[in-house]
Amino acid sequence: MKAKVFIVPVLLVALGLGLMTSLSPAAQQKDKDKKKEQAKQQEKVFIPKEAKSAIQEGLADRQGRQDIPVNIFQSLYLPARENFQVVFLMNIKNSALGFAPATAVPAEPKAEKEGPQETPVQEAVEKLQASFNVFLQFNRLNESGEPEVFREVYVPAKIEVPAAGFDPEKEDIYSVGYPLPFGHYLMAVAVASLDLQQMGVAYHEFTIPDPSQFSKALDTTSIFFVKQMDQMESVEQRTVFHRGLFTYSVLKIVPNIEKVFQPGENLDIFFFIFGAQANQSQQYDLEINFEIKQGETSAIKWSPQTYNSPLISQPLPMKQTVRVKKGTEPERIEQRDLPAGSYTLVINILDKISQNTGVKTVDLTVK
């Protein structure tokens, strides 16, 4: 099995060399006063009183208005240049966002030998478009659990989709990402119509760990599977609201949220390792053993993989090696697709420099 080597160098260049040292447990934690000063210098984005009032109304019990039904069902965090890029995944019903025809394809005029032709009539709608507002409020939770406003963000949203196959009754996945330092947060999102008359508010509590705490054991960021990954020309320079995917550095990523696979598909896994230590040449030496189990039975065990970076992007082919013997024929070895069923991916990580270890598990289904 060959490691997917192209993705890590691309990300390291985009994120900058400071990524590894800033998240290394051996690195000095940045001065807190400097962080506060940087936060003050950032442009404060105005959240209108209508949205701020709606956010405040449901803050205590985490139950917001649902004129536009919105639900944050998961958050992912990955290392960024100086902070963490936190991605929030949410479900929103398409019809609630007000999709309307954006462009149309003109009908072909009928050929006539003589006389003027009639003006073509627009018939087939090619794309649908929805424009709305998204407001983000990040609250840090203090020691007593009380939220204190940390940052406010305004995200003008404009989504275009092909008209063909569009289902207004479907709940699609939408995402928004934002860089944050480690800490314990309560995030509020308000998705609002342009006139602010219709609004959906949702809340999500999450924690980004302090990387310096991983000095004697390894851990990872959120582990997820990738359906599709494409490289952008450059990093997005502003916060963007996306449909069906999320962005990280120079990547567009369609995640496999359901963790459901077809026989013969790869498990394309993505995560970052906390606590990995580099040598004097700033080189890493990590070994990972991937294994799929069904209960206590091993279904697939791949050969150990080695990495020189704690940022892991690895496709794992779901092929079993089986011994086959029919009648008097000689026994032979065959590669077969992993059959349908429920499985657990076990990830054993060893840092060969520090000898620290870590174990993670992820459930998945083959249908």
Residue 6: CATH number of its domain: 2.60.40.10
**pLDDT of 348 strictly over 90:** yes
Identify the pLDDT of residue 41: 43
DSSP three-state, residue 142: coil
The answer to whether position 37 is within a domain reads no
CA 183, 185, 190, 191 dihedral sign is positive
**pLDDT of 118 strictly over 60:** no
**pLDDT of 98 strictly over 70:** yes
Interval 311-324: pLDDT, tens: 999 999 999 988 77
Same domain, 288 and 140: no
Identify the pLDDT of residue 329: 76
- How far apart CA 16 and CA 235 sit, in angstroms, is 12
The number of domains in the chain is: 2
Of 21-30, 54-63, 286-295, the one with minimum mean pLDDT is 21-30
The answer to whether position 34 is within a domain reads no
Residue 276 structural domain: 1-29+214-367
Identify the pLDDT of residue 69: 95
Identify the pLDDT of residue 150: 95
Same domain, 223 and 247: yes
Identify the pLDDT of residue 82: 81
Identify the pLDDT of residue 281: 86
Write phi, then psi, for 19 (nearest 5 degrees). Answer: -55, -55
- How far apart CA 151 and CA 187 sit, in angstroms, is 10
**pLDDT of 110 strictly over 90:** no
Same domain, 311 and 268: yes
Identify the pLDDT of residue 238: 93
Q: How confident is the model at residue 131 (pLDDT cuts 50, 70, 90)?
A: very high
Interval 151-162: pLDDT, tens: 999 999 999 999
Same domain, 137 and 236: no
Mean pLDDT of the residues in the chain: 86
Same domain, 198 and 148: yes
**pLDDT of 84 strictly over 80:** yes
Number of neighbouring beta carbons within 10 Å of residue 332: 10
Q: For residue 65, give both structure tokens.
A: 């208005």
DSSP three-state, residue 94: helix
Q: How confident is the model at residue 117 (pLDDT cuts 50, 70, 90)?
A: low
Identify the pLDDT of residue 111: 52
Q: Residue 277 in contact with residue 24, Cβ under 8 Å?
A: yes
DSSP three-state, residue 159: strand
The answer to whether position 145 is within a domain reads yes
Interval 228-269: pLDDT, tens: 999 999 999 999 999 999 999 999 999 999 999 999 899 999
Q: For residue 337, give both structure tokens.
A: 């697709």
Of 27-36, 138-147, 183-192, the one with minimum mean pLDDT is 27-36
180, 209, 238 - which closes a domain: 209
CA 280, 248, 201, 51 dihedral sign is positive
DSSP codes, 13-39: HHH-THHHHHH-TTSPPPPHHHHHHHH
The fraction of the chain above a pLDDT of 70, given in percent, is 81
Kind plus residue range of the DSSP H or E element containing 23:
helix 18-23
Same domain, 16 and 96: no
The answer to whether position 244 is within a domain reads yes
Same domain, 264 and 303: yes
Identify the pLDDT of residue 3: 44
Identify the pLDDT of residue 144: 87
Interval 27-77: pLDDT, tens: 444 545 555 544 554 445 589 999 999 999 999 999 999 999 999 999 999
Same domain, 237 and 202: no
Same domain, 332 and 243: yes
179, 209, 239 - which closes a domain: 209
Identify the pLDDT of residue 322: 80
